[in-house]
Structure 1
């Protein structure tokens, strides 16, 4: 089934606006699509400029008309995806003192219920929060966090009702089930309770959507009386607040993409001024855990050239850099991603040769053992849980063919107990599929890992279409995990592949540093190399690949569309960061100052400006044939503003020389994460996959 869009696509009016930096003048014909009132739009979408609204609504109407022939297919895909979800699913309860806490869904419900019951009991459930009830009447609703107090008497919960990521924290009395009068607006999602449950710490988000201040809220007092605990003066650094696993220390962390600094407050003395662990040093990151019996901190850091990170110890009363002593040395090629300290064991999540593993270290004697799996490509994660004095940790495992499995693992005996296996109600047999990890040779000779899945009976003769997913920024690694949604493509003859390109950390920290700043183009050429290799090896063919990415991965989509348009049949760019140069030149935007460490600072550096200008997707749209393109954004998105995909699509329409389709959909009721609610999100995925099937003529 081919897409047949209406004859006349929307055309944005040209209103040239010049901009000069480093003696270079750029003229932006579509800059007017950025509402100067954007801060207010984040809080109230109704104040959007009427001309901009009219254009966005015209684009949405055009897209819906173009996709109308796929209505039945979209419904079928949605039904399949919904059928693979256990609608009344629940998480494995996690014990904390007298209770076990968990979430569960009711059949047909969009949002979860947050619950608890007596520890080790199967009955006696209490519903702490029913997110469905809270979401009634809301076009958008997302829970940020539900965090019970150490006394188990209260729960702090936060929600975003616009998609703009301004969360409001409320307090629920768990004895009465009612909310207290306390209400704290404009926060990041997470909070941290003091040891007695009489106050909590939170991060406030300012008008530029930057989390720069930490406050302490005392239960039963108005938010206007909350005490400022820490303020970050550098707008390039963002702050957050948390707690070590022992519960003894509250941690304020200030960081950008390559430097961090931590401050400590005793959880049992929350009025104590924060104590600095180690002053920030450019390029040095650290993150700490607490070894309470031995009164020391265990610190994960890249200090002293430990590119892939090491673990050091420091005394509790003098944790500065001068007292750091290595206990797990730096091992090049083994990237330490995360660590958790329990009373008797120190556990770390690592990645070596592109695959994750968990390493367990007994604190008393330093002996270690590993938890790993044999599949070519898989995902492995560990959860800290609530408790510190426990011999048990929890981890989850999945692969592109194996549904998620949750295990409780005895750190002493090494016994693992399967607590849950992801159910696929409509049926799934891993033996019907094949997962592989292959390596594509990049332009400079680097070997780029590619994880993929396809049906066992698929003929690999080059005739199969392929959906190739990529991200490649901020050191974020895309896991080779199980996806119930992609099976709708795979079962229709697709190869589904993930390109683990530079800019992520799949092959260590160097893999990240080789895909940022003045090496950013490696991200794009790696992705193109992955597509070329898949075609060369018969998994697909040139011109039969649908590329897919979101956010910074959407920037990747825009870049490869300009660089190798004939490699791809279609491109799906969700909340795409495509107006890179203009955004990073604008220090007033929410995320720009911290981004300079990721992309470079084009305001101060002509070299950074020229390099960014050479790949910025919007700036490099030119007269040429382009693949079918589907761009999606959110009106209240504070991360990638709605005008980036809007401007990009307007310029693509102006410049493309062929008759392929260019579609734009802006969700007028949501932000960066798209629609809220598990089923509404599935409808969005079904729309994207219907597009992929249609452009490859698999519909």
Structure 2
């Protein structure tokens, strides 16, 4: 008989703005305390014992998921310089192998990096970045073996197959080459894991600091223009961007500011031959200051010599109903990714044929993704495509013939697309707003009666959970489960305003929207409360924690992966990684109005003596984004306060970070674990399984 874990309580009080908060589990943040590790192990053991009846089913479910995947697979090759580059996977190997062929695609293969060899001595392994020098002679790559998102950079001589003596530890993992083949760029993080410096380093080991960002709300990064002529260094917060640029042929030359920083002005820069193009949210040409009028972005242009804000001229005006989410510039055409009424689409502006048109897609509800387009002078644009029923595909669009050619669709063994249907519904919210939700299920389920339903959402940072294909999800669908992705405010499904109406002092809209979706699905017999399971991770875990406090009776069970649930305490602690930058998402609780609002929804601070849904919570001991103690404290608080006998499990990965296990098999194991929990909660496990 497993013993219910019970964390000890040590009196501790927080006092802010005249409010005293009791926090008896505050001590769980003492990572090196043996009692903390012992408690986490007790929770793990309890979870293992209580869910031991699922071990055989989890194993079978893992095998079922794996059987859908073609383990020996190869990506679509792309040409860079004299080589064709691609990656491939092999059966029973967890990681990819990166390869190339000289001259033609039929030439002998050269494996330039076998990640399986790098990872074999580590329980955790993540390849952060991979970059081949312009002369194709040297490979730059970064790895994290702890899960703390701190990467070590290595240089590999591709001719000699030998590592350089240059080794840079504790970087962000971001890497890139200049065009002189001698200098590469990387970034470092401060003690709070905020990327704040960009460095240049020669292959011989000499370092130069290019840029340092001292404002703790900002993080830095860099990228090379598709033209290969410029390197852009950016410093961004949730509200404001600023760019610098330099020549990619001489990165140690002086750094030039593109346009001075203004609070609220967000802009992104692309090089388009004789001009720069600037996607931005600034619409006030007269005063030269930012406004909120171009929330969905517009595009300006400027000369290469005069880049400050006052020299920008309008190229593509703002539209209230269309969000411009990205812009790519090539020598003879531009590609804009736009989102209208929740749906992405590619707009192609062809400067040779003087055309401005959209690429027609084969379905009405789908998602788009970037492809490998390393050549500035190309007339073919490569992109990714998929939907809830269409496996991920790679297409080439020819600008001259206007034809779209399928290069590859990810093989899914045994999958028959015609057996499934997907669609989007718009659901009335508490204040009259219509909330999008994407739905997929088998066509042969009985829609006249409520069915098991899995409802997922994220709803923060403006991230949009587009309707992607998942072969693992078939293990739900083929058991008659309806799968729904809610798109509440806080994401950007309906544009920038949709995001801004779900952050700061409007954050509760995210939770209200999710509840509205759940209630709609129940009222319209998609499901019932005793068949509804909800899920979210990280900031989506905050969503799960909030809604089960607000409306626990709506849900049969919930899965919260690495949930951000101790909102106020975390946002008050500037020593925790990433905290200060998060103030532009949630607000700064040092300000009284934000404090009270955040306190009113923080899941840990609002646990009530009520019955909760059955709950599975996961954490990562080395997670730098959501510290392990947040889910641990939350579970301890729930055990102390909640009523009823519903299941409550905490599973902490003792060697993983925010993203869980690594490698494709580790990912499938995590997926099978959560899916088995859900299928068991629905009572769908039979002797045949």
Tell me the TM-score range normalised by the shorter chain.
over 0.9
Instruction: Tell me the residue number matched to 1:192.
Output: 176
Matches within 5 A, 1:367-386: 367-373=355-361, 375-386=363-374
SS in 2 for 1:303: coil
Match of 1:277 among 238, 254, 258: 258
Match of 2:208 among 213, 227, 251: 227
Note the C-alpha offset of 1:526: 0.5
CA RMSD of aligned residues (A): 1.2
Contact 2:268–2:278, Cα closer than 8 Å, also in 1: yes
Instruction: Tell me the residue number matched to 2:619.
Output: 633
Match of 1:678 among 651, 664, 689: 664
SS in 1 for 2:55: helix
Match of 1:16 among 6, 11, 21: 11
Instruction: Tell me the residue number matched to 1:298.
Output: 277
Residue 357 (1) aligns with residue 345 (2): yes
Residue 149 (1) aligns with residue 130 (2): no
Does the C-alpha gap of structure 1 residues 522 and 372 become closer, same or farther in structure 2, counting only changes over 3 Å?
Answer: farther
Note the C-alpha offset of 1:366: 5.2
Instruction: Tell me the residue number matched to 2:628.
Output: 642
SS in 2 for 1:543: helix
SS in 2 for 1:613: helix
Residue 345 (1) aligns with residue 340 (2): no
Match of 1:506 among 486, 493, 505: 493
Distance in 1, Cα, partners of 2:161 & 2:155: 10
**Cα deviation digits, residues 301-321 of structure 1 (max 9, x gap):** 111221100111011111110
Alignment length, in residue pairs?
676
Matches within 5 A, 1:317-336: 317-336=305-324
Note the C-alpha offset of 1:8: 2.6
Distance in 1, Cα, partners of 2:101 & 2:580: 45
Q: Where do 4+ consecutive residues of structure 1 move more than 6 Å? A: none
Match of 2:221 among 234, 237, 240: 240
**Cα deviation digits, residues 601-644 of structure 1 (max 9, x gap):** 111x1110000000001100110000001010111111001001
Instruction: Tell me the residue number matched to 1:669.
Output: 655
Instruction: Tell me the residue number matched to 1:208.
Output: 192
Residue 464 (1) aligns with residue 434 (2): no
SS in 2 for 1:623: coil
Residue 104 (1) aligns with residue 85 (2): no
Residue 542 (1) aligns with residue 529 (2): yes
Distance in 1, Cα, partners of 2:352 & 2:237: 35
Distance in 1, Cα, partners of 2:261 & 2:63: 51
Distance in 2, Cα, partners of 1:552 & 1:12: 25
Contact 2:504–2:587, Cα closer than 8 Å, also in 1: yes
Distance in 2, Cα, partners of 1:49 & 1:214: 36
SS in 2 for 1:104: strand
Distance in 2, Cα, partners of 1:347 & 1:463: 44
SS in 2 for 1:648: helix
**Cα deviation digits, residues 242-289 of structure 1 (max 9, x gap):** 111111111111011121101101101111121100111111111111
Does the C-alpha gap of structure 1 residues 519 and 366 become closer, same or farther in structure 2, counting only changes over 3 Å?
Answer: farther
Distance in 2, Cα, partners of 1:121 & 1:431: 34
SS in 2 for 1:228: strand
**Cα deviation digits, residues 106-135 of structure 1 (max 9, x gap):** 111001101111244223211110000001
Distance in 2, Cα, partners of 1:610 & 1:383: 45
Contact 1:553–1:576, Cα closer than 8 Å, also in 2: yes
**Cα deviation digits, residues 1-24 of structure 1 (max 9, x gap):** xxxxx5531000011211111111
Normalising by structure 1, report the TM-score: 0.95
Distance in 1, Cα, partners of 2:402 & 2:261: 39
SS in 1 for 2:492: coil
Structure 1: unaligned runs, 5 residues or longer: 1-5, 39-47
Match of 2:397 among 409, 429, 432: 409
Note the C-alpha offset of 1:414: 1.4
**Cα deviation digits, residues 365-417 of structure 1 (max 9, x gap):** 75211014353421112325211111111112111111122111112321121
Contact 1:462–1:541, Cα closer than 8 Å, also in 2: no
Note the C-alpha offset of 1:537: 1.6
Distance in 2, Cα, partners of 1:512 & 1:612: 17
Normalising by structure 2, report the TM-score: 0.97
Note the C-alpha offset of 1:333: 1.5
Residue 397 (1) aligns with residue 385 (2): yes
Instruction: Tell me the residue number matched to 2:289.
Output: none
Match of 1:175 among 159, 180, 196: 159
Structure 2: unaligned runs, 5 residues or longer: 284-292
